[in-house]
A and B are shown apart, each in its own frame.
Chain A
Amino acid sequence: MTVTTADNTARAKGLTALANPTRFLALVRFVIWPLALATALAFAVGLWMSFSVPDDYQQGRTVRIMFVHVPSVWMAMGAYIVMVSGALGVLVWRHPLADVAARSAAPFGAAFTFLGLVTGSLWGEPMWGTWWVWDARLTSFLVLLIIYLGLIALWSAIEEPARSARLAAIVVLVGAINIPIIKFSVDWFTTLHQTASVVRMDGPALAPEFLYPLLVMALAFLLLFVTLHLAAMRNEILRRQIRTLQRKAARSARGGAA
């Protein structure tokens, strides 16, 4: 009988983990400028459309905050989805780019969540007469922001990329399992506390003259996220390559065996 040490059969990863990122870098170099241009264009059109809509009969001019607020919130959630797929990529397929993707998405997710909260607050003040209510949406986004920031802290706390990748991926996934529970609990929390809520988002369905600018702005935000995310991934790859080179340099110096 023969026993093979558990989990010790060599992974088919090979020693050339950097081959793939090289192709990715070439791709980024090719698409980044067109994407940036498209982003700028979409923002120009979107902002122009946003400012040329008529004032809402109820909310007046402040309705235009929606054109920044709603896309931010969508992107805040989108970035988490990117992180979850990255986390799966790390744990299941052990793809070297997956962690780079997940890790680079976190700061943008946090930024969009923050933007969503700030614009929501700015919108809330004239609408509800207060900067903050413990409303379900606001509360769960605040929790989401804390999760994002905690993950960023975790990534930066562990120096070794391979290990931080897998550990952060576990937290990302546990967080993902938790988000529906948090959302549910917060919904329950707010219905318990304020039956006559000031927050009524489900007003009349959005009129087309508001819908089109919103969609264009959403596209602009999506393009912005994709552009920045690709650029951040490129930076992260380059940062890791520099790190590897630095370590090599340290090791090749006399007496520097790891």
Chain B
Amino acid sequence: MIALLKRDIRLALRSGGGAATALLFYLAVVIAMPFAVGPNPELLATIGPATLWVGALLAGLLGLDRLFQADSEDGTLDQMLLSPVALPAQVFVKSLAHWLVTGLPLTLMVPVFAVFLALDGTAVAATMATLLAGTPAISFIGAVGAAVTVTLPRGGLLLSVLVLPLCIPVLIFGVGAVRGAMTEPDPFLPPFLLVAAISLFFAVIGPFAAALALRQSS
């Protein structure tokens, strides 16, 4: 299992692995925002956390279609299906690896991007905390979509259509928590805990559903 985790991370970091591309895409989305809404710092600071969240969501979805597809094409998936290790556990590890090379770096990049979006310290801390808690949900929900679309030629597009609506709660609570931290009467903790709960929930449901879908793929 550790071997699988190490291999997936190693592959993602090598050229063509997609981890760096996802980060670049994130940067591009964040940079495009000020051009779209204008360089007014106050406005940017208001929509900044939301921009970071939408960017993280899209960047997280970007590489998901390859999560199982690459393994399916080169026959690795067959070996995974035949492995004595339970398939949901393998899916969990692969989703975790996906999060470690996308969700986690996206979160760590927030302080850098905060400069572009004129965010203050509280907003940066709150955004990082919510992204840390919420991006695993994207990887785990996305794993189901990736497993379902694994053999489809243009699966990536369909995957986004299927997964995005299911990610809406994460987005709502994530951005809501950041807003709670920034503006006084709104609370931070309840929505933050809800984000964490959704992540945990899908860390359990996602691998089982994805494993069920992968078994249909051969």
Binding site for B on A (CB under 8 A): 91, 143, 146-147, 149-151, 153-154, 157-158, 163, 166-168, 170-171, 173-175, 177-178, 181-182, 184-186, 188-189, 192
Partner of A170, one of B141, B161, B212: B212
Q: Tell me, in angstroms, the Cα distance from A170 to B172 when the chains sit together.
A: 25
Q: Which residues of A contact B158 (CB under 8 A)?
A: 150, 153-154, 157
Known: A171-B145, A178-B166, A192-B179. 15 other contacts (CB 8 A): A143-B168, A146-B161, A147-B166, A150-B158, A154-B149, A163-B216, A167-B213, A171-B144, A171-B148, A174-B209, A177-B205, A182-B166, A185-B168, A188-B173, A188-B176
Query: By the criterion CB–CB under 8 Å, are B165 and A143 in contact?
Result: yes
Between A and B, 13 residue pairs with Cβ closer than 8 Å are A146-B164, A150-B158, A153-B158, A153-B161, A154-B148, A163-B216, A166-B216, A167-B213, A170-B144, A170-B148, A174-B144, A182-B166, A182-B169
Interface check B45, CB cutoff 8 A? no
Query: By the criterion CB–CB under 8 Å, are B169 and A170 in contact?
Result: no
In chain B between 202 and 218, which residues have their CB closer than 8 angstroms to a CB of chain A? 205, 209, 212-213, 216-217
A171, A184, A186, most chain B CB atoms within 10 A: A171
Question: Which A-B residue pairs are the 5 nearest by beta carbons?
Answer: A185-B169, A150-B161, A185-B172, A150-B162, A189-B172
Q: Tell me, in angstroms, the Cα distance from A140 to B141 when the chains sit together.
A: 19
Binding site for A on B (CB under 8 A): 141, 144-145, 148-149, 151-152, 158, 161-162, 164-166, 168-169, 172-173, 176, 179, 186, 191, 194, 198, 205, 209, 212-213, 216-217
Query: By the criterion CB–CB under 8 Å, are B209 and A167 in contact?
Result: no
Judged by DSSP, the binding face of B is helix
B169, B173, B194, B213, most chain A CB atoms within 10 A: B169
With A149-B161, A170-B144: A175-B172 Cβ-Cβ less than 8 Å: no
Q: Tell me, in angstroms, the Cα distance from A151 to B191 when the chains sit together.
A: 29
Q: Which residues of B contact A149 (CB under 8 A)?
A: 161
Which residue on B lies nearest to A190, using beta carbons? B172
Q: Tell me, in angstroms, the Cα distance from A113 to B176 when the chains sit together.
A: 27
Q: Which residues of B contact A151 (CB under 8 A)?
A: 162
Which residue on A lies nearest to B145, using beta carbons? A171
Task: Kindly provide the distance from the CB of A120 to the nearest chain B CB, expressed in whole angstroms.
Answer: 19
Q: Which residues of B contact A146 (CB under 8 A)?
A: 161, 164-165
Q: Which residues of A contact B161 (CB under 8 A)?
A: 146, 149-150, 153
Query: By the criterion CB–CB under 8 Å, are B144 and A182 in contact?
Result: no
Q: Which residues of B contact A174 (CB under 8 A)?
A: 141, 144, 166, 205, 209
With A150-B161, A174-B205: A186-B172 Cβ-Cβ less than 8 Å: yes
Query: By the criterion CB–CB under 8 Å, are B152 and A158 in contact?
Result: yes
Q: Tell me, in angstroms, the Cα distance from A170 to B144 when the chains sit together.
A: 9
With A150-B161, A170-B148: A192-B166 Cβ-Cβ less than 8 Å: no
Q: Which residues of A contact B209 (CB under 8 A)?
A: 170, 173-174
Query: By the criterion CB–CB under 8 Å, are B165 and A147 in contact?
Result: yes
Q: Which residues of A contact B162 (CB under 8 A)?
A: 150-151, 154, 171
A149, A150, A182, most chain B CB atoms within 10 A: A150
Q: Tell me, in angstroms, the Cα distance from A181 to B194 when the chains sit together.
A: 10
Q: Tell me, in angstroms, the Cα distance from A168 to B149 when the chains sit together.
A: 10
Q: Tell me, in angstroms, the Cα distance from A157 to B156 when the chains sit together.
A: 12
Task: Kindly provide the distance from the CB of B95 to the nearest chain A CB, expressed in whole angstroms.
Answer: 14
Partner of B168, one of A91, A177, A182: A182
B144, B172, B186, B191, most chain A CB atoms within 10 A: B172
Task: Kindly provide the distance from the CB of A88 to the nearest chain B CB, expressed in whole angstroms.
Answer: 13
Which residue on B lies nearest to A173, using beta carbons? B209
Task: Kindly provide the distance from the CB of B59 to the nearest chain A CB, expressed in whole angstroms.
Answer: 20
